[in-house]
Amino acid sequence: MPVKLSEVFKTHPVCLHHDFIDLYSVKEVPDSYKWPQVVDYPSDQDLYDVESVPIIDLMDPSAANLVVHACQTWGFFQVTNHGIPIHLLEDMEFEGRHLFQLPAQQKLKAARPPNGMSGYGRAHISCFFPKLMWSEGFTIVGSPIEQARQLWPLGYKTFCEVVEEYKKEMKELSTRLIWIILGSLGITEDEMSWAGPKSKSECLCAALHLNSYPPCPDPRIAMGLAPHTDTSLLTVLYQTSTSGLQVLREGGRWVTVPPKSGTLVVNVGDLLQILSNGRFRSVFHRAVVHQTHHRLSFAYFFGPPSHVQISALSKLKDQKRTPLYHPVTSDEFLRVK
């Protein structure tokens, strides 16, 4: 049964108004936010971790090989020389802080409706966990104007301009990265025209999600964003200078991805795992919080058009590998997930 993305969360509405707590004003972590076993939150030690997520210079002649290797071994990598102007990252950070610093009552005016995708609210996965997460989010699917108008009836223009520019640049970078990866599998643009640079922007499914993690009185017992994998082909993440993103390694160890100015984090999503028949892995990650710093991150989820069925690429099947997953559209997949 085909289902729209917006309908997926309908039966699990994340209703904010009933039990809304303004995380910026609480002095102690309430019981509903206490998680067991959030032990290894980032310490200085983690920043010198023996193993770390690869950092790849996209101008390096061997960048393509490094990207493919990172997708196979980590499912995560950081990129430098990615072509996104630093001033745009700074502007986005400024606009993000501007948004989340608004009074709670103002932010709630742009609350995501129970059956919607866009707007202010808790993480969409929140309803699947027994405890609440120490974060707030703002999801943008399509134009941000409607929600931005609720937040700033007179001054919404700059926010929208910066967001539109950011989305445009993110789409270009994601397209470039996905073609590095597909190219390595021997896939040509004719075989997958929907992912090609010439494909119309409205064809592709993309969502921009702004995460905000307010300072937390006791980060050892709170969880910013619970362990999850992303429902995308690729995700491109900008994180501000406070660390918090952690990636799960074999053996259950969480490795921190240290923020580096001007660097972007890229990770493989579930749909690329399906498309690559398990060659590239969509890896669990989470975000922990900080006692004094307000951390932000912006995730751009790059996906196929919602009607396109994703299945193991035939070139990979030809190599006598049985398909590991059923063909699925992104909407169906999100519903099942």
Ligand X SMILES: C=C1C[C@]23C[C@H]1CC[C@H]2[C@@]12CCC[C@@](C)(C(=O)O1)[C@H]2[C@@H]3C(=O)O
Ligand Y SMILES: O=C(O)CCC(=O)C(=O)O
DSSP per-residue letters across 20-77? ---TTT-SS--GGGPPTT------HHHHT-SS---EEETTSTTHHHHHHHHHHHTSEE
Closer to ligand X by CB, 238 or 301: give it: 301
Q: State the minimum distance, in angstroms, from the CB of residue 207 to ligand X.
A: 4
Instruction: Rule CB under 5 A: say whether 331 interacts with Fe ion.
Output: no
Amino acid at 183: G
Taking phi over 0 as left and psi of -120 to 50 as alpha, with beta for the rest, 51 belongs to: beta
Q: Which residues have a catalytic role annotated?
A: 295
Query: Considering only residues 117, 299, 310, 313, which one is a binding residue for ligand Y as defined by CB under 6 A?
Result: 299
Look at residue 184 and give the partner it binds from ligand X, Fe ion, ligand Y, none, a contact being a CB closer than 5 to 8 Å depending on partner kind: none
Closer to ligand Y by CB, 125 or 180: give it: 125
Q: Which residues, in sequence order, are bridge partners of residue 256?
A: 246
Q: State the minimum distance, in angstroms, from the CB of residue 266 to Fe ion.
A: 11
Structure tokens at 109: 């005016």
Q: State the minimum distance, in angstroms, from the CB of residue 231 to ligand X.
A: 3
Look at residue 231 and give the partner it binds from ligand X, Fe ion, ligand Y, none, a contact being a CB closer than 5 to 8 Å depending on partner kind: ligand X
Structure tokens at 102: 């608004």
| Ranges assigned E (strand) in the chain | 55-57, 76-80, 119-121, 136-140, 205-213, 225-228, 234-239, 245-249, 253-256, 264-268, 285-287, 295-303
Instruction: Rule CB under 6 A: say whether 209 interacts with ligand Y.
Output: yes
CB 23 within 8 A of CB 100: no
92-98-101-107 Cα dihedral, nearest 10 degrees: -90
Query: Considering only residues 58, 160, 177, 245, which one is a binding residue for ligand Y as defined by CB under 6 A?
Result: 245
Closer to ligand X by CB, 123 or 313: give it: 123
Q: What share of the chain is helix, strand, coil (3-state, %, to 5)?
A: 30, 20, 50
Q: Which residues, in sequence order, are bridge partners of residue 56?
A: 79
Instruction: Rule CB under 6 A: say whether 247 interacts with ligand Y.
Output: no
Stretch that binds ligand Y, among 101-109, 236-244, 275-283, 328-336 (CB under 6 A): 236-244
Closer to ligand X by CB, 78 or 139: give it: 139
Structure tokens at 67: 């990207």
HSE, side-chain direction, 13 A CA sphere, residue 171: 22
Query: Considering only residues 231, 297, 329, 330, which one is a binding residue for ligand Y as defined by CB under 6 A?
Result: 297
Q: State the minimum distance, in angstroms, from the CB of residue 318 to ligand Y.
A: 33
**Dist. CA 188–CA 198, nearest whole Å:** 13
Give the chain's end-to-end CA distance (angstroms, integer): 15
Residue 259: strand, helix, or coil: coil
Closer to ligand X by CB, 88 or 125: give it: 125
Query: Considering only residues 126, 139, 239, 240, which one is a binding residue for ligand Y as defined by CB under 6 A?
Result: 239
Q: State the minimum distance, in angstroms, from the CB of residue 84 to Fe ion.
A: 19
Look at residue 245 and give the partner it binds from ligand Y, ligand X, Fe ion, none, a contact being a CB closer than 5 to 8 Å depending on partner kind: ligand Y
Closer to ligand Y by CB, 80 or 199: give it: 80
Q: Which 221-280 positions form the footprint of Fe ion (CB under 5 A)? A: 230
Instruction: Rule CB under 6 A: say whether 210 interacts with ligand Y.
Output: no
CB 100 within 8 A of CB 136: yes
List interacting residues with ligand Y (CB under 6 A): 209, 211, 225, 230, 237, 239, 244-245, 285, 287, 297, 299
Q: Which residues of this protein are in contact with Fe ion, per CB under 5 A? A: 230
